[in-house]
Amino acid sequence: MIIIKNKFTALFVMAFLTTGCSSTGGMNNLFPAAGDNPIKIESEPSGAEVFVMGEKLGVTPLKISHQDVFPNIYPREKLPLYGRVTLKKAGCADFTRTISTEISNAGLRAQLDCVNMSPASSRAFMEAPHANESVEQRLDKIKELLNKGLISEEEAKKARERVLNDL
- Could you give the number of structural domains in the chain? 3
What is the C-alpha separation between 125 and 131, in angstroms, rounded? 13
Q: Do 90 and 150 reside in the same domain of the chain?
A: no
In contact, 87 and 120? CB cutoff 8 Å: no
Segment among 76-80, 108-112, 120-124 with least mean pLDDT: 120-124
Q: Do 127 and 162 reside in the same domain of the chain?
A: yes
pTM (two decimals): 0.50
Q: Do 111 and 50 reside in the same domain of the chain?
A: yes
pLDDT one-digit tens code per residue, 125-148: 444 555 567 888 888 888 888 887
Percentage of the chain with pLDDT > 70? 68
Bridge pairing between strands 49-52 and 84-88 = antiparallel
Q: Do 47 and 99 reside in the same domain of the chain?
A: yes
- Coil/strand/helix, residue 72: coil
pLDDT of residue 21: 47
Q: Do 38 and 26 reside in the same domain of the chain?
A: no
Per the structure, the complete domain to which residue 130 belongs is given by 118-167
Kindly report the backbone phi and psi dihedral angles of residue 57, in degrees, each rounded to the nearest multiple of 5, phi listed first: -100, -15
Q: Do 76 and 48 reside in the same domain of the chain?
A: yes
74-101 CB burial, b ≥16 within 10 A, e <16: eeeeeeebebbbbbbbeebbbbbbebee
Q: Do 55 and 18 reside in the same domain of the chain?
A: no
pLDDT one-digit tens code per residue, 37-78: 899 999 989 899 999 998 999 999 999 998 998 999 988 998
Q: Do 26 and 56 reside in the same domain of the chain?
A: no
Q: Do 92 and 41 reside in the same domain of the chain?
A: yes
Q: Do 14 and 43 reside in the same domain of the chain?
A: no
DSSP 70: S
Amino acid in position 133:
E
Q: Do 159 and 136 reside in the same domain of the chain?
A: yes
Q: Do 21 and 43 reside in the same domain of the chain?
A: no
